[in-house]
């Protein structure tokens, strides 16, 4: 078996004490797709001794849970049958509704040592579970730690996020609470900080004097994938911008922390969120674009339009695409636009941050190259994780013709292995008590405050969402937002 250097890093440097992971909503999709595979991988890597308890309403029983786990994990990479079976033997199941005290008493009976609770249910059940744990005495550190991971969505506006934070704070201390954002588990996202602060060459030019603008893109090819009910009550702004895109924004824009402590880093991130200029009614037309995809064909296959997706009510104004022009009112970023765009049913799945630098001060080559490309540093989060610098280069020959070329670093070829799954890294961090890659209360509330302002302005406007063709790069209105500033989106 080929060694994975990312996992080797995890194995060599850090280990967790034995821990019991209790998954609330163990019969759900996230458990199948992400949590069980990530836990199996941690088990296989031997970084911790693990027990897993599923807690859910369906009457699966321990045997039923184990049988399904066998099915879900049948194709797990890099594990032997023995390892898989040994992991599945650690699984047990508590059948209970989330507001039934007896269920928590049952759970408490078998529970000793360190416990990590994972809320992976629909958010409507969070409050009942948090109270259930608290009232059963399961929130107090006893013979081991008690920690709780809360899945997204964490609220649907500032008020509901504050309410959820208040319920959590009734039973758990802040240092026991882990608000997950799986983007922070992505290797390349973690590398943003390391690249900026672990090298000497970037920081001196990482500011309004040398940078022209920044583009952050998270585009997806897929549509709603049967999640119409949830998605329509959310929309791209809540589903992607408030959390994932704001993480990318803060890591790109933050000041260097004084040390690598979780709170030192998160202090700097929250300062960025607070410095983001609110977008109110006066800027809503010029600084935001919301849109929905039409029906059509993608790769020859017919696909429904957003309004024809199951679970989407007629006449919905919920956006499947959003583009924003954001300013950070700080010394470093004064006057520099950050353009953010995210949407479903677009041409390609790509997540990247592109930092475009200003043109050289003297236009020596302007006569020959009136449209000379500006240097751009592209941090590719997915796919093909890596970093690319676009630099203008002389084309070989008798002239001084130039062309931009890529100076490329690809994770795959530099390290020869796939990166760790985000959930594996994040679960591990919660096990060892490192909350650096989790979102703090003040950060989440500050980002909701920004999002709420836009939602309110949209609600007051009677302009329906713009439209875009499935498989396209997005609506024309988003292109116009940039051309109005003399800029262009990077090609999707
Ligand atoms: C989730 C959103 O948080 O992130 C989904 O709810 C989205 O709508 C997903 O598809 C994207 O994650 P990734 O890792 O595939 O970029």
Name the least confident of 124-133, 323-332, 393-402, 463-472. Answer: 393-402
User: Rounded mean pLDDT of 212-226?
Assistant: 96
pLDDT of residue 363: 82
429 within ligand 1 shell (Cβ under 6 A): no
Nearest CA to ligand 1 atom 13: 183
pLDDT of residue 421: 85
352 within ligand 1 shell (Cβ under 6 A): no
CA–CA dist 174, 463 (Å, integer)? 41
Cis before 153 (ω within 30): yes
The rounded Å distance from CA 251 to ligand 1 centre is 19
Is the confidence at residue 417, as pLDDT, over 70?
no
The rounded Å distance from CA 375 to ligand 1 centre is 30
Nearest CA to ligand 1 atom 15: 220
Nearest CA to ligand 1 atom 8: 239
The rounded Å distance from CA 23 to ligand 1 centre is 20
Q: Which helix (H) or strand (E) holds 6?
A: helix 5-13
Q: Which mutation among 186, 240, 322 tests ligand 1's pocket best, with the greatest number of atoms within 8 A of CB?
A: 240
pLDDT class of 9 with cuts at 50, 70, 90: low
Q: How confident is the model over 303-313, as pLDDT tens digits?
A: 999 999 999 99
The rounded Å distance from CA 492 to ligand 1 centre is 18
Is the confidence at residue 152, as pLDDT, over 50?
yes
DSSP string, 365-401: TTTT-TTPPPPEEEEEEESS-EEEEEEEEEPSSSS--
Nearest CA to ligand 1 atom 5: 239
CATH domain 184-483 topology? Dihydrodipicolinate Reductase; domain 2 (3.30.360)
219 within ligand 1 shell (Cβ under 6 A): no
Half-sphere exposure of 25 (CA within 13 A, CB side): 22
DSSP string, 191-256: HHHHHHHS-SSSGGG-STTTEEEEEEEEE-S---TT-HHHHHTT-HIIIIIIIIIHHHHHHHHPPP
| pTM score of the predicted model | 0.94
Question: Reduced to 3 states, what is the DSSP secondary structure of residue 450?
Answer: helix
Ordered by start, the domain boundaries in the chain are: 5-151, 184-483
247 within ligand 1 shell (Cβ under 6 A): no
pLDDT class of 326 with cuts at 50, 70, 90: very high
Q: How confident is the model over 424-453, as pLDDT tens digits?
A: 999 999 999 999 999 999 999 999 999 999
Share of the chain residues as helix, strand and coil, in percent rounded to the nearest 5: 40, 20, 40
pLDDT of residue 73: 96
Is the confidence at residue 11, as pLDDT, over 90?
no
188 within ligand 1 shell (Cβ under 6 A): no
Which residues are tagged catalytic?
Answer: 244
Q: Which mutation among 150, 220, 245, 321 tests ligand 1's pocket best, with the greatest number of atoms within 8 A of CB?
A: 220
Is the confidence at residue 1, as pLDDT, over 70?
no
Share of the chain above pLDDT 90, in %: 85
Q: Looking at mean pLDDT, say which of 5-14, 225-234, 339-348, 390-399 comes out highest.
A: 339-348
Question: What's the CATH superfamily of 5-151?
Answer: NAD(P)-binding Rossmann-like Domain (3.40.50.720)
Query: Average pLDDT of the chain?
Result: 93
Nearest CA to ligand 1 atom 6: 239
Please provide the size of the chain in residues: 492
pLDDT of residue 420: 76
pLDDT class of 3 with cuts at 50, 70, 90: low
351 within ligand 1 shell (Cβ under 6 A): yes
pLDDT class of 13 with cuts at 50, 70, 90: low
220 within ligand 1 shell (Cβ under 6 A): yes
pLDDT class of 127 with cuts at 50, 70, 90: very high
Tell me 143's DSSP state.
Answer: S
The rounded Å distance from CA 407 to ligand 1 centre is 29
Tell me 90's DSSP state.
Answer: T
Half-sphere exposure of 386 (CA within 13 A, CB side): 17
227 CA closest ligand 1 atom index: 8
Q: How confident is the model over 20-75, as pLDDT tens digits?
A: 999 999 999 999 999 999 999 999 988 888 999 999 999 999 999 999 999 999 99
pLDDT of residue 27: 95
């Amino acid at each position: 078996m080929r060694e994975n250097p990312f996992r080797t890093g995890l194995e060599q440097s850090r280990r967790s004490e034995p821990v019991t992971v209790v998954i609330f909503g163990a019969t759900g999709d996230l458990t199948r797709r992400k949590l069980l595979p990530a836990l199996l991988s941690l088990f296989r890597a031997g970084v911790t001794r693990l027990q897993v308890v599923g807690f859910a309403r369906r009457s699966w029983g321990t045997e039923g849970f184990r049988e399904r786990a066998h099915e879900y994990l049948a194709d797990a990479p890099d594990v032997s049958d023995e390892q898989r079976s040994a992991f599945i033997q650690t699984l047990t199941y508590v059948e209970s509704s989330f507001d039934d005290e007896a269920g928590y008493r049952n759970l408490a009976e078998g529970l000793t040592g360190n416990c990590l609770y994972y809320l992976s249910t629909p958010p409507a059940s969070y409050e009942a579970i948090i109270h259930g744990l608290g009232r059963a005495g399961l929130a107090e550190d006893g013979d081991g730690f008690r920690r709780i991971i809360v899945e997204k969505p964490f609220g649907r506006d500032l008020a509901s996020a504050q309410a959820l934070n208040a319920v959590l704070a009734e039973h758990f201390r802040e240092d026991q609470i882990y608000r997950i954002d799986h983007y922070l588990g992505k290797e390349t996202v973690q590398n943003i900080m390391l690249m900026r602060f672990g090298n000497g060459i970037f920081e001196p030019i990482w500011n309004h004097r040398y940078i022209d603008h920044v583009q952050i893109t998270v585009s997806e090819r897929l549509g709603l994938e049967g999640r119409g009910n949830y998605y329509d009550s959310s929309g791209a702004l809540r589903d992607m911008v408030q959390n994932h895109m704001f993480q990318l924004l803060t890591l790109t824009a933050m000041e260097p922390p004084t040390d690598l402590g979780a709170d030192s880093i998160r202090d700097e991130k929250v300062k960025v969120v607070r410095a983001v200029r609110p977008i109110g009614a006066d800027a809503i037309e010029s600084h935001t674009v919301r849109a929905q995809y039409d029906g059509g064909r993608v790769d020859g296959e017919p696909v429904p339009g957003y309004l024809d997706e199951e679970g989407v009510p007629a006449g919905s104004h919920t956006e499947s695409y959003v583009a924003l022009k954001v300013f950070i009112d700080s010394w470093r970023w004064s006057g520099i636009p950050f353009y953010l765009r995210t949407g479903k049913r677009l041409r390609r799945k790509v997540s990247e941050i592109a930092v475009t630098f200003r043109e050289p001060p003297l236009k020596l080559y302007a006569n020959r190259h009136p449209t000379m490309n500006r240097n751009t540093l592209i941090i590719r989060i997915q796919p093909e994780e890596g970093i690319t610098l676009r630099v203008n280069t002389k084309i070989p020959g008798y002239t001084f013709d130039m062309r931009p070329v890529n100076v490329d670093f690809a994770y795959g070829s530099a390290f020869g292995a796939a990166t760790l799954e985000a959930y594996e890294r994040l679960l591990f961090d919660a096990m060892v008590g490192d909350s650096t890659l989790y979102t703090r209360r003040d950060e989440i509330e500050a980002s909701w405050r920004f999002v709420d302002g836009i939602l309110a302005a949209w609600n007051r406007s009677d302009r329906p969402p713009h439209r875009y063709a499935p498989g396209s790069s997005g609506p024309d209105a988003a292109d116009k937002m940039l051309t109005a500033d003399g800029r262009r989106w990077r090609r999707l």
